[in-house]
Amino acid sequence: MFEQLDFAMRSPNTKIAAKLLLRLVTGILILVLACLWLLLTAKPALA
């Protein structure tokens, strides 16, 4: 089992998948932060 995991970690496809996943997660975080920032800045204007 550990040999398979080691092989998966060394395979370039896994590295590409990890990079894409990392980009996706950071993208979602940026979107969430942007939405929160917009809500916080828009609240005084709406009130």
Q: pLDDT tens digits for 12-25?
A: 888 888 899 999 99
Tokens representing 25 are 């997660």
At 26-35, the pLDDT tens digits run 999 999 999 9
Q: Which pTM value belongs to this model?
A: 0.58
The whole-angstrom separation of Cα 11 and Cα 19 is 13
Confidence of residue 1 (pLDDT cuts 50, 70, 90): low
**What is the rounded (10 degree) CA torsion for 21, 23, 25, 28?**
-140
H runs (alpha helix) in 1-47:
2-10, 12-46
